[in-house]
Amino acid sequence: MKTHKIGTADVELTDEIGSYFSVIRAVAAGNSKLSAIAAALGTKATSLTSYLKTLIDLEIIEREVPVTEDTPEKSKKGLYKIRDNYIRFWFAFVYPNQRLIESGNEKIVMQKIKSGFVANHAAFVYEDVCREKMWDMNAAGTWPFHFLKIGRYWSGDSEIDIAALDPDGPNLILGECKYWREPVGASVLRELEEKAATVPWHKGQRKLWYVLFSVSGFTEELQEQVKHREDVILRT
């Protein structure tokens, strides 16, 4: 029987591939900050730079910054995420459970997927879908202006799912995307209005608009509150 010797170069290549997989898996597990990825892998942040750059060049991972940043490439608020939702799902649920799948324990794997599917996957996919819907609404003339940029905003503990900018206005649309079993209530709008105060973009000169997305609709209380408000839009 012929054997294949593994040289030093082969071992290094295997280690290299394993390192890329480890980085992707760490990001899929919810570690979005560079420091968090490094901590999850038990290594220094500086040692991950080349891996992250390669994964970004391959369009597997992307570095996201708050949409309000003027110079994204210099921003220190960068977060990393997996671009493709199928890859994100595979690394979050399939890759970590390969042993169970190969040994025929599909029921255990399905339980693990169901327990974390909404919080660790579906909610993020829904945000992407909502931001795509925003472009359709923009083209349809939903607002008396057209935004030019859309993304997210975060600072400290404050995070907003949708932030769309119209620099000429300046108009700012802020929104939340809720993948909940229950209808979204008035408290979500109230919290969003409070979080708006943390966004520094054109503060004191801007016009604020709000949009809420919900897979389970909205409470009657919220619908009644916004019935006569032109600055609030509800979408299912």
- Give backbone dihedrals phi and psi of 228, rounded to 5 degrees, phi first: -110, 20
Give me the architecture of the 128-235 domain, per CATH. Answer: 3-Layer(aba) Sandwich (3.40)
- Does pLDDT of 97 surpass 50? yes
Rounded distance, CA 80 to CA 91, Å? 15
CATH 3.40.1350.10 domain position(s) in the chain: 128-235
CATH 1.10.10.10 domain position(s) in the chain: 8-125
pLDDT tier at 78, thresholds 50, 70, 90: very high
- Does pLDDT of 10 surpass 70? no
Rounded distance, CA 188 to CA 148, Å? 26
Distance between alpha carbon 16 and the CA centroid of its chain, in Å? 27
If you classify domain 8-125 with CATH, what class do you get?
Answer: mainly alpha
Rounded distance, CA 72 to CA 68, Å? 9
Distance between alpha carbon 162 and the CA centroid of its chain, in Å? 10
Tokens at residue 100, please?
A: 């169970």
Q: How far lies 28's CA from each of 42, 94, 149, in Å?
A: 16, 11, 26
pLDDT at 71: 92
